[in-house]
Structure 1
Amino acid sequence: MAKAADRAKNPARSSVWLETNKRSRAARGGSGPAGLDRDRIVVTSIRMLDEEGLAKLSMRRLATELNVTAMSLYWYVDTKDDIIEYALDSCYGEVDLAAVLAADGWRERVRVLALEYRRMLVRHPWMSAVAGQYLNVGPHAIAVGGEIHKAIRDSGLPVSRTPSATSAVFQFVYGYGTIEGQFSRVAQQAGMSQDDFYTDSIAAFREEDQFTGTLEEMSEVLDERLSHGSVDEIWDRDFDYALDVLIAGIEVMVERGRAEAAAERGAQG
């Protein structure tokens, strides 16, 4: 089996999706416990992660939830890392790629991908903490990444600039979805709606004398945001406008690149 120590020696090749790990499981032979399979393990893991977070997930607790012995899990996975990788990729499978393909033009494809990615992060707040810890080379993650690449490529940016533009858009989405998901979880843990939690938080902030000077500069913005009466509306409005800004920025850079290329051709002619 792929021990954690072995993975640490070669992190660039440490993934449940790479061939070495597949051979490890295939070599065991036989069949696993009746009524248990990898899909069931992954579905249960995602539910536990959504409800309780990463800290509570363990092979023992997962086995208890599945009503099997902990050793039964090792027919299908080598480590808890394997389970998290499978869970990550399964969540990427929630991205509606059919809706992406049906979108008209690269701008709308980027918007659909960004919204789908954001929703995925909000549904599964634990994802943000682990997405960068794994290679994310599962089939669903690769499919989503491929559509992101094609959408940005079709903007007209040169190959050397598409990774930067991709980062600008989707690192923004990652951060936005992370904050939104964590805010929702904190409100839920407090036994409050997002709207009540937000209103009470702002009120507490405003009642503190130490923040009086800062609030003089921020009061107009705070009043405007509180006037909406819905945190969900604020999330959506800010996200849509910020995404428009980023897409407009890509358009500007495409035009700038074309102008620079034309100027260079003119100078050479």
Structure 2
Amino acid sequence: MVSDADRTKRPARMSVWLGGKAPKGRKAGQPSGLDRDRITEVTVRLLDTEGLAKFSMRRLAAELGVTAMSLYWYVDTKDDLLELALDAVFGELDLSKEAERGDDTDTDTDTDTGADWRDELRALAGGYRGLLIAHPWISPLIGTYLNIGPHSLEFVGTAQRIVRSTGLPTRWQGAALGAVFQFVYGLGTVEGHLKKRCADAGMTLEEYYVEAMGATREVAGFEQVLEDLDEIMAARGSETAEEMLERDFEVALDLMIAGIETMTARHAEADSDADAEPDESAGTDEPAVTGESGEAA
């Protein structure tokens, strides 16, 4: 257990977006043409080409042609820089279409957009998957930092607006967001690292897949798993490995969307049933049943 004393000495990592960590100005004598945006841009490029494990402030300084100490006029720590790079990547998402909708949708039950929310959800999920594949280094950082930069928050806000427009009750919307985007995170992370591994090995995805499948056939006790896998693969027809990944993503996302539709319909049906139930505590307008004498029975 971490003691209070240790917690004071080593406070939880804060965010570059908190605590007034504004960009620092350039001191006289510092290299011209260097600012936080330029540093972040080169950081993203290095992370894309060399990966997170090889990234260092010294390596970044060499790429920029400056001393490592020069970088600390613009960022306090390496963590701050990685957080800036992560948010910059989220800025690659095209949210213009979703942004036009703004907050016009009702928070709970607006379904006037018909199938629009489905298309928007597919587009946003597909864009998120694309980021995870193109920049495999972001997946561990997403789980490390608060992700409260402007681009990250715009992504989250867009996702929330789309889910609000599905008609799901508010209490279920968080679960829907988690189901869709944690699924995309997991799948995109695996696919991103797989393709990075192929690139590092100088192989295409198809070549890697054929070689990997051949190697697994030599593993003892794996026969039944392979037999089932062969049946699944045969059902896919002549798809390439790339087409298979694309199709699997689309089908899985459609299953998520179908689940949202089912839960929305279930909620609407429950509300309808509740409205239809008679209120036993209320009076009745029907005349009382009387006996032959005319008295109330």
Give the structure 1 partner of residue 46 of structure 2.
48
Give the structure 2 partner of residue 62 of structure 1.
60
Relative distance call for 1:19 and 1:153 in structure 2 (3 A) is same
Give the structure 2 partner of residue 18 of structure 1.
18
Confirm or deny: 8 A CA contact 2:26 2:73 kept in the other structure.
no
Give the structure 2 partner of residue 233 of structure 1.
243
Q: Does 1:208 find its partner at 2:219?
A: yes
Relative distance call for 1:268 and 1:157 in structure 2 (3 A) is farther
Q: Does 1:151 find its partner at 2:162?
A: yes
Q: How big is the shift at 1:100?
A: 3.9
CA distance in 1, matches of 2:93, 2:179: 20
SS in structure 1 at match of 2:170:
coil
Structure 1's unaligned 5+ residue stretches are: none
| Structure 1 residues 133-191: Cα deviation after superposition (integer angstroms, max 9, x where no partner) | 11111111111111100000000111111010000000011011111101101111111
Letter in 2 for 1:21: K
CA distance in 2, matches of 1:55, 1:197: 23
| Structure 1 residues 10-33: Cα deviation after superposition (integer angstroms, max 9, x where no partner) | 44xx110114323xx55x784653
CA distance in 2, matches of 1:195, 1:253: 38
CA distance in 1, matches of 2:127, 2:97: 9
Q: How big is the shift at 1:7?
A: 9.5
Report the structure number with the largest CA radius of gyration: 2
Q: 2:139 aligns with which of 128, 136, 140?
A: 128
Structural mapping, 1:1-269, within 5 Å: 8-11=10-13, 14-22=14-22, 30=27, 32-101=30-99, 105-225=116-236, 227-228=238-239, 230-267=240-277, 269=279
Confirm or deny: 8 A CA contact 1:101 1:109 kept in the other structure.
no
Q: How big is the shift at 1:211?
A: 1.7
Relative distance call for 1:10 and 1:200 in structure 2 (3 A) is closer
Stretches of 4+ aligned residues off by more than 6 angstroms: none
Q: How big is the shift at 1:251?
A: 0.5
CA distance in 2, matches of 1:226, 1:133: 40
CA distance in 1, matches of 2:182, 2:220: 36
Confirm or deny: 8 A CA contact 1:100 1:112 kept in the other structure.
no
Relative distance call for 1:102 and 1:111 in structure 2 (3 A) is farther
CA distance in 2, matches of 1:181, 1:68: 32
| Structure 1 residues 227-263: Cα deviation after superposition (integer angstroms, max 9, x where no partner) | 31x2221111011111111001001000101111222
SS in structure 2 at match of 1:36:
coil
Q: How big is the shift at 1:76?
A: 0.6
SS in structure 1 at match of 2:70:
helix
Confirm or deny: 8 A CA contact 1:199 1:226 kept in the other structure.
no
Q: How big is the shift at 1:34?
A: 1.2
Count of matched residue positions in the alignment of Structure 1 and Structure 2: 259
More deviation in 81-90 or 206-215? 206-215
CA distance in 2, matches of 1:102, 1:192: 42
Structure 2's unaligned 5+ residue stretches are: 1-6, 102-114, 280-297
Alignment root-mean-square deviation, CA: 2.2
Normalised by the size of structure 1, how large is the TM-score? 0.89
CA distance in 1, matches of 2:155, 2:43: 22
Q: How big is the shift at 1:268?
A: 5.9
